Every structure is written in C-alpha cells, then in structure tokens.
C-alpha cells in the first residue's frame, strides 16, 4: 500500500459504490482483513476458524461457510471458493449494513430481500433453491448443538413443526398425498415477514479504527 | 353481541340508576361514619358487654347505669354498630363503586370507544365528590400515603413484570436520555419560565420565589406511568413508541424523586451552593442505582425461593408479590427510587420464577397483577376526581394558563431537541411522526398530584395544586381523547397482531448468533457480543442456581416450542370441538412435509391393521384409567373440582376423539414417522387431563400399561404425587422392556429411537404441577 493515497482511494471507490460503505469503514475492514489473514492477500477457512471468540458460537460453521459461498457475492455464480480476497470479504459484510435514515420504502424492500437471501443461502446448503426438511433439521440441530445433550429428537420435532407451519401458511390446501418439496425463497420471505429484517439484521460498522483494541485476532 | 338496542338502553339506564343510588349510599355511609366517631368506643364496649352478659369496665357500667336509670334494659335482638366495621366497609364500598363504574363503561360501547376510561373515571370521581359536598360532608382526599404505599405499587409491578425486555433493552439508551435529560430540561424550563411569569406585574404572584417555582417545575414535569398506561393501552401503537413513552415514564421516577427532595430542602434552607448542586447529582446516581440494586437483590431472592416451592404450589404467587412489595418498601425507606426498584425486581425475577412455578401459579400471578393494577388505576382516577372537588383551591388565571402552555411547549421542545441528538446514535431513527407521538403522549397524572399534596407550604400549595390538577385534566382529557384519532390520522404503525411463530423464534435466535459471529469476525465488541456473553454467563451460572431441576439446562428454543404446543393444546380444549387446531387452518399435515426420498427406512412396512386396532384399544383403556385416578388425590394438590367433572368429562371425550383421529392419521404412515409423534403428542395433552398413570398397586398389566411410547412420558410429566416416584421409575423401566418386547416386528432402529424418546421427549418447559418431582436422573441423556 504505501504512497499513493489517491490510488487506494480510487480502488476503494469501486468497492464503496458497490457495497455502500464509507471510506473509513472500508479502511477499518481492510485492517481487520489483514489481521485475520496474517497480512496475506486472501483468507481461508482456517483463518476464520481460528478466531477464538467464534468458538462458542453454535452456528459457526454456517457463518464461515457463508463467506466462501459464491451466491453471496451478488453475482449469479454458484459454488464455493477456497479462499476469498478483500473484495469478497467486504461484499459479504455489506449484507449487514443498517438502513440509513433516508432510505425509501422501495430501497428498504430491496435491502430486506438481500438480507433474507443471505439467510436463505445459509440454510440452503445444496444450492437447489429450496430448503428441504433435512436441511432445516440441520439448522435447528446446529442451533441447539451448544445447549447440552438435548439430542436429535427435540430438534427434529421443532424443525418438523416449523416446516409444517411454513407449509400451512403458504400452501393451505394441500391434498393428503401432495408433497411439500421445501421452503422456496418466496415462502421464506413470507414466513419471516414479521421480523423486519432490514432493521434487525445489521451490526454497527465503526467509523473509527479499532485495531488498537484487543480483539480476537487469529494471528499475532 | 347481538343485543337489541332497546334492551341495552333499558338495562344500562337501569344500571345507571342503580349506580346513582349506590353512590348516594356511599356518601351516606361516609356521613354516618363521621357521626359515629364520637361515641364509638363506649357503644362498642357496651355491645360486647351485652353480648357476653358480663360486667365490664367502669365506662360501660356507667353507661348501663345511666341506661337503667331510664328504663329497664331490654335484651337487644337487633342492634346497629356501624363503627365496628367502618373502615373495611368504606374501603370495600369504594372499591366496589370503582369496579361497578368500570363495568358500566364497558356496557355502553359507544362511549368507551371515544373517551378513554381514565377520563370517564375522573368524571365519576367529580360526580361523587360533588354529591358528597352537596350533602355537606367532607370528601376523602387522595391521601399521599395511601397513594404511594397501596395504590401505586400494583400498577408498577404489573408493568414491570410484563415489561417487554427485548424492546426495552434495545432502546435503553434512548429511554434513558428521554427520562433523565428530558425530565431535567422540563423541570428547569418550566420552573424558570414560571418564575419569569411570576415577575409579571399585576399577576399577584410576586411572593413566589425561584426555588418554589423550580419545585413546582419538578413536580409537574414528570410523565406519569399510570396515565400513560391507561391511555396507551387502548390505542395499540407499535411496540417501539409504546416502550419509549412508557419506559420514560418509569425511569423518570428517580429524577423526580431527587429533584423533589432537593428543591424541597433548598426551599427551606433558602440558598443554593455549587456543593449542593453536585450533591444533587451524586444523590441522583445513588437513588437510581441504589433502587435498581435493591430491586435486583429482592428479585434474586424471589427467584431463589421459587426454586424450592415445588411442594407448596399454592403459595407461589404470594412470594412473587411479597418480594416485589418488599423491594418497593425497602427502597422507600432509604428514599431511593421505589419504582425503579420494583421494576428491577420484576424484571430480574421473572425468567427464573416462570421456569420454576406451575402453570396455574403463572396464571394466578398474571391475573392477580392485572386485577390489582386495574383496581388501583380505577381508584386513583376516581379519587383524583373527588379530590378535585374537595380540595381547597386557589385559582389564579395567569399562573394556571401559563403553566399549561409552558408545559406543552417545553415537552415539544425537549422531545425535538433530544431526538435530534439521539438520532445520531440510533440505527433505526425516530421519524417526525414518532416524535410527535412521544411528545403528545407525555401525560401527567396522579403522581404529580400526590407530590403536590405533600408540599408543606400551605400558602402556595393550594395554587400549585390547582395548577397541577388543571394540567393533569388537560393532558388526560384533551390529549388522552385526541390521541386515538390522531394515531389513525397520522397512520402510525400499530402493534403487530401476530401469533408466536416457531419460525420467527428460530430465526430470531439464529440472527442473534449470526450477528454475534459477524461482530466477532469484524473484531469489535459490539452490542451482540456483550449480549451473548451475558447469555452465556446466565446459562452457566445463574440458571443453575435459580432454576430447579434440570429445566435449568433447557435451551430457550425448546421451551418456546413446548409452550407453543401447550398453548395450542389448551386452545384445542377451549374450542371444545373435535376439529383441527384453530391455528392450523390448512389441510397440510405432517405427511405432506416428510421427505419421500430414499432412505433405508422407506422399506419399512406400515403397521398392520390389527396392530393398529390393538394400539387404539390400549390407548382408550389407558386414558380411561387415567381419568379414574384423579379422584384419589389429596386436598393440597391442585386438582380439578369434583363439580367440574361433568364438564371435563365432555371435554375429555372430545379430546380423545381428536387424539384418536390424529393417532389414526399417524399410524397409517410408515413407521419412521412414529418417532415424531410422541414428542408432539406429549405436549398436546393439557395438564389437567393427563395425570397419574401410575397407580398404587395396579402394577402394569402387561399390555394395558405401556402401549405407546408417549404415554408414560406424557403422563409422568404432569405427575403430582411425590411418593410415587419410586414406583414410577420401576414401572417405567418395566415399561421399557415391555415395550421392547411387545414390538418385535418393528425395526431395532425404531426401538432405539423410542427408547431415546422415552428419555428425551419431555415437555420440559411445561411447568406442570409437579414438574420436578421426577428426581430420578434416568431420563437425562
């Protein structure tokens, strides 16, 4: 990096336009990226795995996987990457931006769809566009995994009940022989309409540099 | 409510006449009580003497002698001694009046839609006060001690216990800013401006000094929780606004207490120094933090006590009430903020207590709190009306009018200014509409009145009281009545009427973890990080300490799920029909969602018809037996009234039909589905029905005892009697083996799963009567 401030700015300009972050925020993210990667150009799964604070998180694997999922890059590719660069890192982070005061209703809708799509991608691990019962069960199991040995049966029951709920609200008149394939994105949107994702799914991206604070660095 | 208008009108007019007669009766009793006062003692003593027929003290002897000198004493067949029961009689009459009023308003729907209840109650109070005054007697005034010690705590406890924590915490910063800074601003602005007004020539207010004005300002500036609750309850605005205004009204108590005492001290002392001001700030911190600590302390005590109440379920609600009341009183002893203490106690206690107590206790607590707070609120408003008529007034046009105007202005300015600052820090900004509602919802109420009443300087006290009452009336009547149409007009978002959804709960938790994870990846310790840390601390240490049994390790998702199922089961019973669950209005059922794709289990044949019949027969017999066992319980167990048996018999039959329908449905699908049903079934059975399955002596008659994997669990969950523990575990163990022996034609896999379920499928979060009687750990994997 070094001398040309303007060059890095113009490089970041593209990122800023694509993701909506401010320059300060991107710089902070860059610092964090370099911390995580050990000053390398790319981050691998092991780098993220090594964050100590994540160890207690029950859905750690899904979170890490989400960074390497091509679907979250706002392109139409599918599949997984082995390593991600800074642009992809920021792209994934941009899903967690809060809505500004002046966003219009349409913009909020777009934002909500994006965030819901992110969640959907996290659940739909086999990329087939629907969340099947098996996948949903896995989600609930993972959620309960850190809560002691409650076991598979309770998770199963909950996942089944949840699936039943989705099916009942979205496809109320099913004949006994019909089969509900899985939760499509539309159904997913419908079922989570009440949560107002655009206001809830965000974190505060700081405008100040926090790298001097002690945080869960993977490499020293 | 298809009642013909004439009938309603007729009945309501009859009702109103009765009400009028009743109020007259009330006033007469007050009068009678007054007259009884003088010779009460002697009459009571003579009464006793007459009853016992003994010679007593001199006073009675003289009385007797004086009586006997007139005529021979006749044995009194009927005597009148009102004084004996005067106080409780009057109290009951007042409360009865209040409640009848409340009843009356709801019979006349037209009025109650337009005018909020608080207004109507004040009007009633005015009427009653007017009647009493017309009779020429002195009306009871809203005594401050009565208000602060008896009328206010139930309302605050009700609010604090059912406070929506999530919203409260998310908006804590905003609420605190409004409560502290906003109230300070209001107090000083109103005080200062009123002092300026008092300087106006010709207003005859020259004797009001700055400190008194500031004192007045501090009394009038606080938003009142009672009034806010009363009005906001009826308009159903969205949770954010509700919690903002309501939270502010609760938290500003600390500020009000400090300011009030501060200015009162100063107005006696006469001068203020910088040291005093600093001490004031320190005092504020002490009052608020101290109050909260006291509340937490009692809350933890209460939670800890509830851990051991499994044997004495009947007194559980009392612990909640008493610990909370003690918290309030203890805080008041040290002049700390009683309201904050009460709130802190309720908030602290609730999650743990609810995990420990039985369902019935929970319902009792809920209803008692609602009942008491409702009565209190009604009484407060009525007394406010009566006091208005009764109290000495000193009306000063300038003062009063300016007070009202300045209060409004200062509120609006305060809200706008603070929101401007707050919005810089908030993610979800407050719009202009929100600001308007927050400003408009700043109602004053009885707290201001009581504080004014406590003032000692009688000269200005009357003038202040008049102004306070005017402001209260203005806010409650004008703002209270118009806020509903304004909310409609401005199209403010209303409260979501959503049912709890398992999907939303799953995703709420998922989001929490996701956001915590992202924050960790980002590297800064934000909101979610600390919340997560707190949750983990709570889970590992606090819950273990305060929650009985193994419910302490139950994850929240499972409790939620079980509660949901329980609610649905209850609804099923309530609806009383054999139809589907009300919430599931579709024809989708379990088999629609089961994956049809290949797994090994697909090859399993379905249960044969004969087996199905057998299972059904067994179930039926089992359930019948269950029913009979109910009668053999002891008195101290919470069980159904024998008089209710008929009704519940019908219900029971209906449920059985429903259950069998479901059973048949489940039984006809491939066997691998069965593993699910036990868990679901467990929770569908409402608690009062499924009791002991275990009997004394009636050892499992082989086949008839353990037909289905779910029954032992379902039943054992809600078992009452502790003595049967041992028997039960023995029976259960036997049952397992029998089960296994009985179903040789099922796969081993299924058996294994069933065994697991027997261990695992428990409605852990259903706090049934004797949840944790099951001390045996054989069911914890």
pLDDT the model gives residue B566: 75
Measured between CA atoms, how close is A136 to chain B, in angstroms? 10
Residue B139 clears pLDDT 80, i.e. is over it: no
Residue A8 clears pLDDT 80, i.e. is over it: no
Contacts of B771 (CB under 8 A, 6+ apart): B310, B358, B548, B549, B551, B717
Measured between CA atoms, how close is A145 to chain B, in angstroms? 10
Please answer yes or no on whether A144 and B528 come within 8 Å at the CB atom.
no
Measured distance CA(B535)–CA(B529) in Å, rounded: 10
pLDDT the model gives residue B417: 93
pLDDT the model gives residue B171: 87
Q: What torsion, rounded to 10 degrees, do the Cα atoms B340, B343, B348, B352 define?
A: 160
Selected for mutation to probe chain B from A54, A55, A121, A143 (highest B CB count within 10 Å) is A143
CB atoms within 10 A of CB B704: 13
Measured distance CA(B101)–CA(B5) in Å, rounded: 20
Nearest Cβ partner for B523 among A35, A60, A162 = A35
pLDDT of A63-95, one tens digit each? Answer: 888 888 777 777 777 777 788 888 888 888 888
Chain A CB contacts of B586 under 8 Å are 167-169, 171-174
CB atoms within 10 A of CB B612: 15
pLDDT the model gives residue B675: 38
Measured between CA atoms, how close is B2 to chain A, in angstroms? 32
pLDDT the model gives residue B670: 44
pLDDT the model gives residue B690: 36
Average pLDDT for chain A: 76
The better pLDDT of the pair A52, B331 is held by B331
pLDDT the model gives residue B390: 78
Q: Identify the weakest region by mean pLDDT among B78-87, B402-411, B642-651.
A: B642-651
Q: What torsion, rounded to 10 degrees, do the Cα atoms B680, B681, B684, B688 define?
A: -140
Measured distance CA(B523)–CA(B362) in Å, rounded: 42
pTM above threshold 0.90:
no
Contact B193, B269 (CB under 8 A): no
Confidence of residue B667 (pLDDT cuts 50, 70, 90): low
Contacts of B749 (CB under 8 A, 6+ apart): B601
pLDDT the model gives residue A214: 43
Residue B660 clears pLDDT 70, i.e. is over it: no
Strand partners, B314: none
The whole-number average pLDDT for the span B709-713 is 39
Contact A24, A97 (CB under 8 A): no
Most confident of A5-19, B265-279, B439-453: B439-453
CA angle, B302 then B304 then B310, to 5° = 100
Provide the residue count of chain B: 781
Provide the residue count of chain A: 220
pLDDT the model gives residue B767: 45
pLDDT the model gives residue B70: 55
Residue B591 clears pLDDT 90, i.e. is over it: no
Please answer yes or no on whether A204 and B427 come within 8 Å at the CB atom.
yes
pLDDT the model gives residue B699: 38
Residue A109 clears pLDDT 60, i.e. is over it: yes
The whole-number average pLDDT for the span B282-293 is 90
Interface of A with B in 130-149 (CB under 8 A): 132-134, 139-140, 143-144, 147-149
Residue B412 clears pLDDT 90, i.e. is over it: yes
Residue B298 clears pLDDT 80, i.e. is over it: yes
Chain B CB contacts of A101 under 8 Å are 423, 429
Please answer yes or no on whether A161 and B561 come within 8 Å at the CB atom.
yes
Using H for helix, E for strand and C for coil, what is the string for A89-140?
A: HHHHHHHHCCCCCCCCHHHHHHHHHHHHHHHHHHHCCCCCCCECHHHHHHHH
The whole-number average pLDDT for the span B655-661 is 67
Contacts of A161 (CB under 8 A, 6+ apart): B502, B561, B564, B565, B680
Compute the Cα dihedral for B415, B416, B417, B421 and give only its sign: positive
The whole-number average pLDDT for the span B253-261 is 84
Looking at chain A, which residue has its C-alpha nearest residue B497? A194
The better pLDDT of the pair B403, B535 is held by B403
The whole-number average pLDDT for the span B114-123 is 85
The whole-number average pLDDT for the span A104-116 is 83
Chain A CB contacts of B677 under 8 Å are none
Percent of chain B beyond pLDDT 90? 10
The whole-number average pLDDT for the span B109-115 is 77
The ipTM assigned to this model is: 0.88
The whole-number average pLDDT for the span B147-171 is 88
Nearest Cβ partner for A147 among B518, B532, B555 = B555
Average pLDDT for chain B: 71
A13 touches chain B (CB under 8 A): no
Residue A41 clears pLDDT 80, i.e. is over it: yes
The better pLDDT of the pair B507, B549 is held by B507
pLDDT the model gives residue A219: 39
Confidence of residue B30 (pLDDT cuts 50, 70, 90): low
């Amino acid at each position: 990096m070094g001398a040309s401030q303007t060059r890095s700015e113009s490089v970041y300009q593209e990122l800023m336009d694509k993701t909506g972050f401010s320059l300060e925020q991107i710089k902070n993210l860059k610092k964090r990226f370099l911390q995580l990667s050990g000053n390398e150009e790319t981050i691998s799964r092991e780098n993220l795995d090594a964050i100590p604070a994540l160890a207690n998180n029950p859905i750690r694997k899904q979170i890490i996987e989400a960074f390497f999922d091509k679907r979250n890059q706002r392109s139409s590719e599918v599949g997984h990457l082995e390593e991600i660069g800074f642009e992809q890192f920021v792209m994934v982070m941009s899903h967690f931006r809060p809505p500004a005061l002046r966003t219009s209703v349409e913009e909020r809708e777009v934002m909500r769809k994006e965030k819901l799509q992110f969640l959907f991608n996290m659940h739909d691990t086999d990329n087939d566009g629907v969340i099947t019962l098996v996948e949903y069960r896995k989600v609930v199991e993972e959620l309960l995994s850190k809560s002691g040995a409650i076991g598979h049966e309770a998770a199963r029951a909950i996942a089944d009940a949840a699936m039943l709920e989705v099916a009942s609200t979205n496809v109320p008149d099913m004949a006994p022989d019909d089969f509900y394939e899985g939760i499509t994105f539309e159904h997913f949107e419908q079922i989570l309409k009440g949560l107002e994702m655009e206001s809830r799914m965000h974190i505060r991206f700081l405008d100040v540099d926090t790298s001097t604070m002690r945080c869960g660095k993977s490499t020293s | 409510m298809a009642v013909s208008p004439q009938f309603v009108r007729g009945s309501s007019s009859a009702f109103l006449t009765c009400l009028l007669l009743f109020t007259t009766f009330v006033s007469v009793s007050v009068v009678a009580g007054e007259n009884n006062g003088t010779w009460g003692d002697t009459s009571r003593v003579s009464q006793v003497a007459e009853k016992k027929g003994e010679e007593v003290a001199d006073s009675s002897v003289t009385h007797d002698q004086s009586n006997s000198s007139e005529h021979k004493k006749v044995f009194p067949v009927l005597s009148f001694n009102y004084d004996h029961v005067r106080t409780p009689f009057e109290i009951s009459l007042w409360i009865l009046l209040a409640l009848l009023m409340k009843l009356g308003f709801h019979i006349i729907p037209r009025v109650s839609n337009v005018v909020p209840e608080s207004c109507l109650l004040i009007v009633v109070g005015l009427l009653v006060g007017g009647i009493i005054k017309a009779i020429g007697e002195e009306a009871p005034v809203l005594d401050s001690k009565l208000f602060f010690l008896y009328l206010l705590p139930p309302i605050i406890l009700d609010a604090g216990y059912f406070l929506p924590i999530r919203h409260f915490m998310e908006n804590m910063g905003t609420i605190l800013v409004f409560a502290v800074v906003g109230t300070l601003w209001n107090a000083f602005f109103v005080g200062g401006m009123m002092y300026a007004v008092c300087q106006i020539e010709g207003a005859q207010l020259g004797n009001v000094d700055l400190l008194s004005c500031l004192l007045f300002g501090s009394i009038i500036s606080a938003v009142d929780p009672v009034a806010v609750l009363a009005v906001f309850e009826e308009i159903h605005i969205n949770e954010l606004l509700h919690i903002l205004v309501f939270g502010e009204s609760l938290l500003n108590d600390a500020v009000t207490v400090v300011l009030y005492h501060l200015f009162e001290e100063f107005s006696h002392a006469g001068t203020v120094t910088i040291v005093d001001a600093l001490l004031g700030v320190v005092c504020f911190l002490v009052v608020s933090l101290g109050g909260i600590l006291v509340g937490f302390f009692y809350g933890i005590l209460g939670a800890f006590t509830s851990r051991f109440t499994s044997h004495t379920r009947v007194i559980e609600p009392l612990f909640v009430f008493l610990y909370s009341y003690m918290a309030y009183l203890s805080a008041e002893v040290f002049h700390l903020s009683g309201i904050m203490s009460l709130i802190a106690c309720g908030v602290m206690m609730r999650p743990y207590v609810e995990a420990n107590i039985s369902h019935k206790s929970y319902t009792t607590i809920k209803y008692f709190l609602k009942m008491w707070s409702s009565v209190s609120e009604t009484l407060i408003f009525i007394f406010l009306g009566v006091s208005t008529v009764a109290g000495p007034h000193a009306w000063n046009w300038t003062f009063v009018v300016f007070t009202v105007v300045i209060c409004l202005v200062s509120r609006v300015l305060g809200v706008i200014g603070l929101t401007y600052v707050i919005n810089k820090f908030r993610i979800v900004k407050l719009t202009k509409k929100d600001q308007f509602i927050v400003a408009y919802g700043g109602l004053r109420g009885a707290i201001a009145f009581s504080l004014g009443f406590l003032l000692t300087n009688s000269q200005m006290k009357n003038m202040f009281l008049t102004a306070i009452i005017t402001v209260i009336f203005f806010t409650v009547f004008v703002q209270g009545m118009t806020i509903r149409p304004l909310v409609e007009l401005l199209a403010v978002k209303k409260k979501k009427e959503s049912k709890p959804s398992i999907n939303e709960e799953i995703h709420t938790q998922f989001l929490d973890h996701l956001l915590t994870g992202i924050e960790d990846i980002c590297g800064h310790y934000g909101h979610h990080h600390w919340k997560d840390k707190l949750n983990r601390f709570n889970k590992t240490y606090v819950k273990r300490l305060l929650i009985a049994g193994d419910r302490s390790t139950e994850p929240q998702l499972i409790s939620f799920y079980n509660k949901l199922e329980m609610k649905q089961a209850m609804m099923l019973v309530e609806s009383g029909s054999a139809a589907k669950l009300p919430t599931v209005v579709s024809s989708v059922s379990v088999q629609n969602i089961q994956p049809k794709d290949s797994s090994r289990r697909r090859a399993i044949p379905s249960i044969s018809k004969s087996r199905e019949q057998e299972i059904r027969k067994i179930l039926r017999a089992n359930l019948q037996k269950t029913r009979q066992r109910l009668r053999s319980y002891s008195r101290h167990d919470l069980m159904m009234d024998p008089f209710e048996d008929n009704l519940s018999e019908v219900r029971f039959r209906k449920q059985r039909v429903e259950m069998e329908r479901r059973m048949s449905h489940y039984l006809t699908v491939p066997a691998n589905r069965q593993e699910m049903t036990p868990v679901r079934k467990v929770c569908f059975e409402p608690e009062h029905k499924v009791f002991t399955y275990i009997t004394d002596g009636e050892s499992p008659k082989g086949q008839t005892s353990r037909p289905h994997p779910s029954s032992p669990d379902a039943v054992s969950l809600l078992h009452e009697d502790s003595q049967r523990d041992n028997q039960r575990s023995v029976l259960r163990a036997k049952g397992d083996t029998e089960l296994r022996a009985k179903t040789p034609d099922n796969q081993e896999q299924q058996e294994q799963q069933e065994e697991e379920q027997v261990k695992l499928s428990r409605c852990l979060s259903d706090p049934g009567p004797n949840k944790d009687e099951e001390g045996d750990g054989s069911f914890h994997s």
